Homo-oligomer: A and B are copies of this chain.
Amino acid sequence: MFSGRDTLMRKLLVSLVAALLLTVTGVPHAQADEGMWTYDNFPSALVQQKYGVKIDQAWLDKVRLATVRLSGCTASFISPDGLILTNHHCSAQCLAEISDAQHDTLRDGFLAQQRGEEKSCPSQLADVLVGMEDISSKIVAAIKGKDDKAANDARKKTLTQLESACEQAAGKKNPLKCQSVQLYQGGQYFLYKYKRYNDVRLVFAPEQAIAAFGGDPDNFQFPRWCLDMSVLRAYEDGKPVKTANFLKVNWQGPAEKEPVFVTGHPGSTDRLLTVAQLKQLRDLDLPTWLLRASELRGRYIQYGKTGAEPLRVISDPLNGLENSIKVRRKQLDALHDDAMLTEKIKQEKQLRDRIAGDTSTAATTGDPWGEIEKALAVERGIAMPYTFIEAGAGFNSQLYRYAKALVRSATERAKPNDERLREFTDGALPLLQRQLTTQVPVYPDREVLTLSFGFERMREWLGPDHPMVRALLKTESPDGLAARLLRDTKLADPAVRRQLWEGGAAAIAASGDPLIKLALQVDPEARALRKRYEDEVEAPVDSASEKIAAWRYTVYGTSVYPDATFTLRLNFGTVQGWNESGTPVPAFTQLATAFERSTGADPFRMPESWLKVKSQLDMTTPFNFSTNNDIVGGNSGSPLINAQGEIVGLMFDGNIHSISGSYWFDTAKNRAVAVHPRIIREALTKVYSASTLSKELGL
């Protein structure tokens, strides 16, 4: 429900709200350039009215089919031969995985002068959303009359069945990856159908020094000077994919105030959470995560000082960690902002009052907000054991994660598909198998660092007398245990992992590998915690959230957009700066300032390649720019598109105020940040002499 340009298509989750469809009176968000709209509910009329731009179905279809989902990022097809444009930081894992002690590709960049040189990215996938199916009514039917726990089980089972049926219906000739999506906190369910590309190769990446110029200090800041770009290519059967739906780059870029659109996959927002849920984030989730992450940051940094190779090995995870720390730190600030919380309290009261005043429906019964508060109290009680034992904080190691996945999948695969944990359904297994059996570098010292850190903090937070802690450590220290396990395991070898994967439960039971044995030892307690979490936290929260979603729909209809869920969205805005405490921040930066800002010391170091050709560069070239599009993490790599459907920018970040976008959209200050097409052209043609690539792009 809540969806569809055609109201006849709407499937209502809770049928009673259908009668109230016409009572919609509040349109709280529709006037601001706000919203992460699903493609089936884009406010085209508003855009036409506000900006005189007509977004028709053909425009929407073309842009959607040119939009690519990567692991945690977005990208777009930019040539008919499968060329994909995304951020440098979206290819960082690939760059790290194809690096070794002699070749630091993450640091030094990469350019394939011809197609044969394009390098396979071991872990990268590329998905394109080719279909959407509303399955809300099927979920409603499945959970009808059930209590919270039974409803939660039935919901999952039904989603698995529908995904499986979808993939089977697609067949093997034109296979689809079918993933269910929960929108509006359970107000709506869809099947999203993807064309998946498993073979993605690296074409071009600049040096990290220019891709992330300013590093962590400048991250989420603007003005900015980052060439945060990389180019990939999708292959099928060993050949570049033909991609008729690609977007042309408009190399001039946009004008100030020009209407622009971002298509992509915003990862996660919490704008529709209840006040109690926001407080739980503020008081529990964020502070405890930040404490752990800050210490790990310190350990990584200090480890990186012990040599060139440790520095290289730590670079990718450290960048990711520092990015997350900055995000969560500013999220915490946002949750401490009285103005924001006051507004949330007001909105919640408004909705409750509106519903309470409506006597025409049974929707006024029950207290879903109170039910959520009760579930959150349970969550507080089990949060630490759950976090450390099941969610992985205590077993912080790539090889242990392999072990856990192997151990669990052996049990789960033996069950009927719709009775498995959701991450082991038939639909999920091919990717899991690939992840488990692909060769990627494993760094033993880094593994010891992270695993011993996990053990040590598990002992701190659960206490040395917690049964799990005692059973693990016995007479060993966290360091000693981690070092011994990682010295003796063979799981770094993909052949060993493949043998365990293919051998299933028997192979797991027969394995003497210490990490497999550890995962087996931990599994019963970890599963028990998960079950408790799902039954006593997730189930009541989901039930209550569905009820609140129905109430919200009663009042606001489709004028509200769903929270981000790393599924495809489209939004609109214009190119603009903002006013920072009385000082205007202009929308565009220029190349000249990047050179002025370069100190020669990382992370403010223009690379040699740029210094060498400095005299040939146009110093007035626009570098980065800001817009008021409503985006968050996951939109990294998204194309910025003009009314004509051309790419006029490459999104890579937001300003510091954009981080509060997790909870609300601060119209005055929330800005998205993009790489300008002109600096991309300048770089490809003058700095990197990427002639083949430039030619393919029409430069």
Q: How far is the CA of A292 from the CA of B294 in the complex (A)?
A: 7
Q: Given A217-B459, A464-B214, A475-B599, A302 and B291 touching (CB < 8 A)?
A: no
A329 in the interface (beta carbon within 8 A): yes
Binary flags per residue of A276-297, CB closer than 8 Å to B gives 1, else 0: 0000000110010011101111
Which residues does chain B contribute within 8 Å of A599, judged by CB atoms? 473-476
> 7 closest Cβ contacts across the A-B interface?
A298-B298, A302-B302, A475-B599, A295-B298, A294-B294, A298-B299, A283-B336
Instruction: State how many copies of this chain the complex holds.
Output: 2
Tell me whether A601 and B217 are in contact (CB under 8 A): no
**How many Å from the CB of A335 to the closest CB on chain B?**
9
Which A residues between 285 and 318 are near B, CB-CB below 8 angstroms? 287, 290-292, 294-303, 305-306
Chain B residues with CB under 8 Å of A449's CB are 302
Residues on the B chain within 8 Å of A305, using CB: 479
Pair A601/B477 contact, Cβ less than 8 Å: yes
Q: B294 near A298 (CB under 8 angstroms)?
A: yes
CB distance from A619 to the nearest CB of B (A): 20
CA–CA, A604 to B300, complex, Å?
26
21 contacts between A and B (CB under 8 A): A214-B464, A221-B464, A284-B336, A287-B287, A287-B290, A290-B291, A290-B294, A291-B294, A292-B294, A294-B294, A294-B295, A294-B298, A295-B301, A298-B298, A302-B302, A473-B599, A474-B599, A475-B600, A476-B599, A477-B601, A480-B601
B217 touches A460 (CB 8 A): yes
Please report the C-alpha to C-alpha distance between residue A292 and residue B325 in the assembled complex, in whole angstroms: 12
B298:A218 contact, CB within 8 angstroms? no
List residues of A (457-495) whose CB comes within 8 Å of B's CBs: 459-460, 463-464, 473-477, 479-480
Binding site for B on A (CB under 8 A): 214, 216-218, 221, 283-284, 287, 290-292, 294-303, 305-306, 329, 332, 336, 449, 453, 459-460, 463-464, 473-477, 479-480, 599-602, 604
Chain B proximity of A497: nearest CB distance (Å): 29
Which residue of B221, B291, B459, B474 contacts A329 across the interface (Cβ within 8 Å)?
B291
Give CA–CA (A329, B294) in the complex, Å. Answer: 14
- Give Cα A464–Cα B216 distance, bound, in whole angstroms: 10
Q: By the criterion CB–CB under 8 Å, are B217 and A463 in contact?
A: yes
Chain B residues with CB below 8 A from A604, complex form: 464
User: How far apart are the CA atoms of A62 and B453 in the complex, in Å?
Assistant: 50
Q: A2 CB to closest chain B CB, in angstroms?
A: 34
> Closest residue to A223 on the B side, CB-wise?
B465
Min CB distance A312 to B, Å, is 16
Closest to A335 in B: B283
Complex alpha-carbon distance, A604 and B465, angstroms: 12
Most chain B CB within a 10 A radius of its CB, from A291, A296, A460: A291
The answer for the CA separation of A299 and B302 in the assembled complex, in Å, is: 5
Given the complex, which residues of B lie within 8 Å of A302, measured CB to CB? 298-299, 302-303, 449
**Contact, CB under 8 Å: A217 / B464:** yes
- Assess A601 versus B475: contact at CB under 8 Å? Given A294-B295, A295-B294: yes
Q: In the assembled complex, which residues on chain B have CB atoms less than 8 Å from the CB atom of A474?
A: 599
Q: A292-B294, A298-B299 are in contact. List 9 more A-B contacts (CB 8 A).
A: A284-B336, A291-B291, A295-B295, A296-B298, A298-B300, A302-B449, A473-B601, A477-B602, A480-B601
Q: How far is the CB of A390 from chain B (nearest CB, A)?
A: 21
By a CB distance below 8 angstroms, the chain B residues around A336 are: 283-284
Residues of B close to A473: CB separation below 8 A = 599, 601
Alpha-carbon separation in the docked complex, A464 to B656 (Å): 14
Complex-state Cα separation, A301 to B602, whole angstroms? 25
Instruction: Determine the chain B residues whose CB is within 8 A of the CB of A217 once the complex forms.
Output: 459-460, 463-464
